[in-house]
């Protein structure tokens, strides 16, 4: 190569590199500019909206949330137990719009028209989409327990949505007499946050032990076993002997009915008059999933296990508690993990690319006392049987673990909360 040739070559190479740096990647990373609407301002929806923008900033992403702030269920038991206040579990969407460019609309979706690809809201808005993500959470089967209703939840709170119901249960515990009875009635599977009722019993026990020690907690369970059971029961025997009694479904735990006026619960032929009654009713996907025609006969949404696109209607993805996601539990961490996978699948589909294999994680801490934490964890993969935990990994903590580990897990429980909420709202 002579000098001229070399100079030419370098020029060519420069042009080629410039193409490589700017021109060609637009083919390799096509910006779709498509419109994605995400419905639901909780763990699944917020994470999905934020990660859609992280993966492709050219997308037009709108998050529709019924409230302008989100109160988490995680750590609401710490509010009920008097360890945290409501501010700790309440988060705003400001950064989602100001930092990440997600358009946040405070409204309730009333209609989903999957053929016209449009939604309508209670506030009278009509919005078109290329892809729709629903992360609507759960509703209750109000008529499943005789004598119970939505109105009855003002006397016998469910406190299974973070917010006013959390405050109501806390106030009732503060007002109850020393020596009173607290009834907690968890539902059968599947339901949101499987270890939640037992963490709640633990943290209420912690409050009662220190403030109203002659009181008792009776857990009237629809089930015969529950999440992290050995770890919870070991801790109860250790920390709250004679304070918590758990009655399994087959031994009188199943509710027959409740009498709200008399604050009385009937179960297994017995009658329990209580100071505080926490009924956690059986659940189903939130109403918008039914209105959109996305639910099966059991009241949950079947989805493609890779993309979370509805098996019933195309162009609509369902994530979080409302969806049937293989063996993943209905938890905030699971919903957030699904939100990221769903976001990547949508971006890839709009670009004509393939995500390849995905993995999901769920790590769930429960507090048994302020300095006593326990956990269950799993890594999930897509298999021919749907989303399954990786064998040989995950599981609950060691029953024989030293107290130092319990203490560390209590510290990490709060660390987890800070991380996941900043991953969503930060």
Per CB under 8 A, residues contacting another protein are 1, 5, 8-9, 12-13, 16-17, 19-20, 24-25, 28-29, 51, 333, 336-337, 340-341, 344, 348, 351, 353-361, 363, 375, 377-379, 390, 392-395, 397, 405, 408-409, 411-412, 414-420, 422-423, 426
CA distances from 312 to 109, 275, 294, 315, 316 (A): 19, 45, 6, 10, 9
Q: Which is nearer to another protein, 259 or 423 (CB)?
A: 423
The minimum distance between CB 150 and another protein, in angstroms, equals 32
- Under 8 Å between Cβ of 40 and 65: yes
CA distance 340 to 217: 39
Nearer to another protein, 31 or 225 (CB): 31
Min dist. Cβ of residue 5 to another protein (A):
7
Q: Which is nearer to another protein, 248 or 394 (CB)?
A: 394
Q: What is the DSSP string of 35-79?
A: EEEEE--SHHHHHHHHHHHHH-TTSEEEEEESSSEEE-STTHHHH
Q: Whose Cβ is closer to another protein: residue 63's or residue 145's? A: 63
Q: Which residue lies nearer to another protein by CB, 9 or 68?
A: 9
Evaluated on CA atoms 316, 318, 322, 327, the torsion sign reads positive
- Minimal distance, residue 241 CB to another protein, in Å: 26
- Residues 200-213 as b/e (b if ≥16 CB within 10 A, e otherwise) read bbbbbbbbbeeebe
Q: Is 192 exposed, middle or buried (0-12, 13-18, 19+ CB in 10 A)?
A: buried
User: What 3-state class would DSSP assign to 219?
Assistant: strand
* The pairing of beta strand 386-389 with beta strand 395-396: unpaired
Of residues 260 and 349, the one with the C-beta less far from another protein: 349
| Of the candidates 74, 366, 82, the residue with the CA atom closest to the CA atom of residue 209 | 82
Q: Are 159 and 170 in contact (CB under 8 A)?
A: no
Minimum distance of another protein from residue 306's CB (angstroms): 11
Shortest Cβ distance from residue 145 to another protein (Å)?
34
Cβ contacts of 171 within 8 Å, gap of 6 or more: none
Q: Could you tell me the smallest distance in angstroms from the CB atom of residue 27 to another protein?
A: 8
Nearer to another protein, 237 or 401 (CB): 401
Distance CA 104, CA 118 (A): 17
CB of 357 to another protein, least distance (A): 7
Contacts for 245 with CB less than 8 Å, ≥ 6 apart: 216, 217, 218, 219
Pairing outcome for strands 372-383 and 395-396: antiparallel
CB nearer another protein, residue 272 or residue 407: 407
For residue 380, list its beta bridge partners: 360, 389
Our CB check for another protein shows the closer of 207 and 365 to be 365
Characterize the bridge pairing of strands 323-324 and 301-302.
Answer: parallel
Q: Which residues contact 83 (CB under 8 A, 6 or more apart)?
A: 203, 206, 367, 370
Token pair of 351, please?
């670009």
Minimum CB–partner distance for residue 85 and another protein (Å): 18
Closest separation between CB of residue 63 and another protein, Å? 17
- In the DSSP assignment, the letter for residue 397 is P
- In the bound complex, what is the minimum distance in angstroms from residue 163's beta carbon to another protein? 23
Nearest approach, Cβ of 232 to another protein (angstroms)? 17
Considering the complex, state which of residue 17 and residue 111 has its C-beta at the smaller distance from another protein.
17
Residue 128, SS3? strand
For another protein, give the closer residue by CB, 272 or 351.
351
């Amino acid at each position: 190569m002579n000098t001229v040739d070399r100079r030419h070559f370098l020029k060519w190479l420069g042009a080629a590199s410039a193409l490589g740096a700017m021109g060609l990647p637009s083919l390799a990373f096509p910006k779709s500019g498509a419109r994605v609407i995400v419905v639901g301002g909780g763990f699944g929806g917020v994470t999905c909206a934020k990660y859609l923008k992280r993966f492709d900033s050219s997308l037009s992403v709108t998050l529709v949330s019924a409230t302008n702030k989100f109160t988490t269920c995680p750590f609401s038991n710490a509010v009920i137990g008097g360890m945290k206040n409501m501010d700790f579990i309440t988060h705003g969407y400001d950064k989602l719009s100001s930092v990440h460019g997600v358009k946040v609309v405070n409204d309730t979706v009333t209609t989903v028209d999957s053929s016209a690809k449009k939604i309508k809201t209670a506030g009278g808005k009509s919005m078109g989409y290329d892809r729709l993500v629903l992360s609507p959470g759960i509703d209750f089967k109000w008529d499943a327990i005789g004598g119970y209703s939505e109105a009855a939840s003002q006397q016998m709170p469910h406190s299974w949505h973070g917010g006013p119901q959390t405050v109501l249960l806390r106030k009732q515990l503060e007002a109850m007499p020393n020596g009173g009875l607290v009834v907690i009635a968890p539902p059968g599977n599947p339901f949101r946050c499987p270890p939640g009722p037992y963490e709640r019993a633990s943290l209420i026990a912690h409050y009662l032990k220190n403030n109203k020690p002659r009181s008792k907690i009776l857990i009237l369970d629809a089930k015969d076993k529950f999440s992290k059971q050995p770890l919870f029961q070991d801790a109860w025997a250790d920390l709250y002997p004679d304070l918590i009694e758990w009655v399994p479904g087959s031994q009188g735990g199943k509710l027959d009915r409740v009498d709200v006026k008399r604050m009385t619960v009937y179960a297994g032929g017995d009658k329990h008059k209580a100071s505080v009654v926490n009924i956690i009713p059986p659940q189903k996907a939130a109403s918008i999933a039914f209105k959109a025609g996305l639910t099966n006969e059991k009241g949950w949404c079947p989805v493609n296990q890779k993309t979370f696109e509805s098996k019933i209607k195309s162009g609509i993805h369902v994530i979080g508690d409302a969806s049937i996601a293989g063996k993943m539990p209905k938890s905030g961490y699971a919903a957030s993990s699904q939100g990221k996978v769903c976001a990547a699948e949508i971006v890839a589909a709009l670009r004509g690319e393939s995500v390849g294999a995905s993995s999901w994680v769920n790590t769930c801490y429960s507090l048994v006392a302020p300095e006593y934490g326990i956990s269950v964890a799993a890594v999930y993969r897509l298999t021919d049987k749907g989303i399954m935990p990786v064998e040989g990994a995950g599981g609950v903590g060691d029953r024989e673990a030293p107290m130092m580990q319990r203490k560390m897990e209590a510290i990490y429980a709060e660390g987890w909360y800070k991380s996941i909420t900043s991953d969503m709202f930060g």
